[in-house]
Amino acid sequence: MGQLDGKVAFITGAARGQGRSHAEALAAEGADIVGIDICAQLDTVAYPMATPEDLEETAALVEKQGRRMIAHTADVRDLAAVRAAVDAGLAEFGRLDIVLANAGVMAHSLPPYGNSERAWQTSIDTMLTGVWNTLQATVSHLISGGRGGSIVITSSAAGLRAQTTERSGGADGYFAAKFGVVGLMKAYAGALGEYNIRVNSIHPCGVDTPMVVNDFFPNWIAAHPKTASLLVNALPTELVEPADVSNAVLFLVSDTGRYVTGLTMTVDAGLTTVH
Ligand SMILES: NC(=O)c1ccc[n+]([C@@H]2O[C@H](COP(=O)([O-])OP(=O)(O)OC[C@H]3O[C@@H](n4cnc5c(N)ncnc54)[C@H](O)[C@@H]3O)[C@@H](O)[C@H]2O)c1
C-alpha cells in the first residue's frame, strides 16, 4: 500500500531536478503523474535548461515505479497551455488530487540586453504569474472532485529572507517572485480550506540541481562575495538533495499532513535561521 494509491498529481517543471524527484517520489507512493515543462532555453537564463529528452526520462522513471505519466511540453507563463495539459491529464486519469507548482528559473542580465528589465520579467512571469496560472488551471478541478486536495508551491529560502546585496540581474525578480508566492499560498489556503484543499509552500536552500550546479553559477557567486557570505547554511552542507525536498512534499501531500495548511515549510539546512 502506497500513501498516495489511486491519486493523480500535476507537476510543473517536471523534466528534471526537483520536479523529476517529486514525480518519482509520488509515483513510488502510488500516484499517477501529469507533468509539464517548457523544455526550451530562455535567453535570460545563463545555464542549460531542460530538454524534451529530460521530460521523457522523467516519464520513464515514473513508469519504473509502476505508475503512468502524461508529459507535455508547456510553458507555465501560458495559461491556455497549462489548462490544456491539466485537461488532457483529467481526460486520461479522471481525477486530480495534488498540484506541485515547482517550475522556476534563475534569470540574469546577460548580453546583449545588459539591463535587468528582461530578467525581472522572466522571473515574475515564470515564478509568480506561472504559479497563479497553475492555480487557475487546477483549483476548480480539485473543488469539483469533492475529495479535497493538496497544493504545494515551491518558493525558496529566498522567499523568506533576502540573502543578497545585489540590485541587478534576476536576483531582485527571483526574491520578489518567491516572496510573492507566499502571499498567494496564504490567500488560497484560506480560500480553499472549506473544500478540504490544503495549500503550503516549501522553502529550500541551495539544492543539487542544474539550476545552481552549472558552469555559470559558481562564477557569478565568486563575483558577488557579499551575497556568497549570506548563503552559508547552519548545518554542515552546501546543498540539499532533491530527495530531501521530495520528502517534505510527500509529508505535505499525504494524509500525514492532513491538517497542515498555510505553512511556509523550510528545507534549508538552517539557512534562514542564521541569515
Ligand atoms: N536549485 C536550487 O538551489 C533551488 C533552491 C530553492 C528553490 N528552488 C526552486 O525549485 C524549483 C525547481 O528548480 P530546480 O532546482 O529543480 O531547477 P531545474 O532548473 O533543474 O528545474 C526547473 C525546471 O523548471 C522548468 N521551467 C522553467 N521555466 C518554465 C516555464 N516557464 N514553464 C514550464 N517549465 C519551466 C525548467 O525547464 C526545469 O526543468 C524552482 O522553482 C526553483 O526556483 C531551487
- pLDDT per residue as tens digits for the range 176-234: 999 999 999 999 999 999 999 999 999 999 999 999 999 998 888 888 888 888 899 99
Query: Residue 125 contacts by C-beta under 8 Å, 6 or more apart in sequence?
Result: 77
Kindly give the distance from the C-alpha atom of residue 108 to the centroid of ligand 1, in angstroms, as a whole number: 14
Kindly give the distance from the C-alpha atom of residue 209 to the centroid of ligand 1, in angstroms, as a whole number: 8
Confidence at residue 117, expressed as pLDDT on a 0 to 100 scale: 87
Q: Answer yes or no: is pLDDT of 111 > 90.
A: no
* SS3 (DSSP) at 268: coil
Give pTM, 2 decimals. 0.98
Please work out whether the CB of residue 173 comes within 6 Å of at least one atom of ligand 1. Answer: no
Q: Answer yes or no: is pLDDT of 167 > 60.
A: yes
Confidence at residue 211, expressed as pLDDT on a 0 to 100 scale: 96
Confidence at residue 13, expressed as pLDDT on a 0 to 100 scale: 99
DSSP string, 37-97: E--S--TTB-S----HHHHHHHHHHHHHTT--EEEEE--TT-HHHHHHHHHHHHHHHS---
Residue 163: which pLDDT band, with cuts at 50, 70 and 90? confident
Kindly give the distance from the C-alpha atom of residue 107 to the centroid of ligand 1, in angstroms, as a whole number: 11
Query: How far is residue 207 CA from its own chain's centroid?
Result: 12
Q: How many residues are present in the chain? A: 275
Minimum mean pLDDT among 21-30, 96-105, 220-229, 254-263: which range?
A: 220-229
- pLDDT per residue as tens digits for the range 132-161: 999 999 999 999 999 999 999 999 999 999
Q: 174 catalytic, yes or no?
A: yes
Catalytic residue among 113, 174, 195, 259: 174
Of 229, 214, 105, the residue nearest 170 (C-alpha): 105
b/e code 79-92 from CB counts within 10 Å (16+ = b): bebbbebbeebbee
